[in-house]
Amino acid sequence: MRKDGRAADEIRPVKIIPHFLKYAEGSALIELGETKVICSVSVEEKVPPFLKDTGMGWITAEYAMLPRATQARTPRDSVVGKKGRSYEIQRLIGRSLRAVVDLSLLGERTFWVDCDVIQADGGTRTASITGAWVALALAFRKLLAQGVLSRDPMKEALAAISCGLVAGEILLDLTYEEDSLAEVDANFVMTAGGKIVEIQAAAEKDPFSWEVFETMRRLAEQGIQKLINIQRKVLEDA
């Protein structure tokens, strides 16, 4: 039993509040245990130069953390410049969402996905992806109702979760404390159909076996299916 009372294969309590922001085309607040992220989608009527006159749309993301989202204050990116970690995470979010969207149905529009961490206790990137998918689905729903889009561009549901080897035990959905002690740390991004969008996995000290990796993958797939069921329920009720 873990410090928060969870079993090794149990995800943290999840809450997703749709339409969290008034002005965004789509938005959601996701709470994954003590981690909280506001995800919002804004639509811009133009695309990057490489997509101009192609009829294709684009999805891109920005990720940031409030100074006191963590136990010790961290300076804002706007003051010190965006950190490499923030760039890496926002590129991951953008890639993940583009993998499950038919960009040809967007028209020449850019969908900006902003993920702002207001409280961090591990899993901020996975929570961002899971919440951003809901925000994007809500934005598509709004544009379909307005007649801006003629067909739903969303091809499949998408979610993400962490997994790791901590003190010799494989755990699902790591808190910050567990992540800081992990011998192996992994993030899985997968679709409702069980297809892999991206896996980030690394040994913090000693190399790990395929058996450990396969166990993490199975746990992650189970956790992601639970998250996708929650996403679907949120959209049904929204």
- Write the pLDDT tens digit of every residue in 129-153: 999 999 999 999 999 999 999 999 9
CATH-assigned architecture of domain 14-237 = 2-Layer Sandwich (3.30)
Q: Provide the pLDDT for residue 126.
A: 98
Q: Over the stretch 114-135, which tens digit does the pLDDT of each residue have?
A: 999 999 999 999 999 999 999 9
Q: Which parts are annotated binding residues for phosphate?
A: 85, 123-125
pTM of the complete model: 0.95
Domain boundaries, the chain: 14-237
Structure tokens that stand for 178 in this block: 């567990």
Residue 77 pLDDT grade (very low, low, confident, very high; cuts 50, 70, 90): confident
Residue set of the binding site: 85, 123-125
Cβ pair 191, 169 in contact under 8 A:
no
Please report the pLDDT score of residue 63 as a whole number.
96
Amino acid at 12: R
Q: What is the SS3 string spanning 16-45?
A: EEECCCCCCCEEEEEEECCEEEEEEEEEEC
Q: Could you read off the pLDDT of 172-209 as tens digits, one per residue?
A: 999 999 999 999 999 999 999 999 999 999 999 899 99
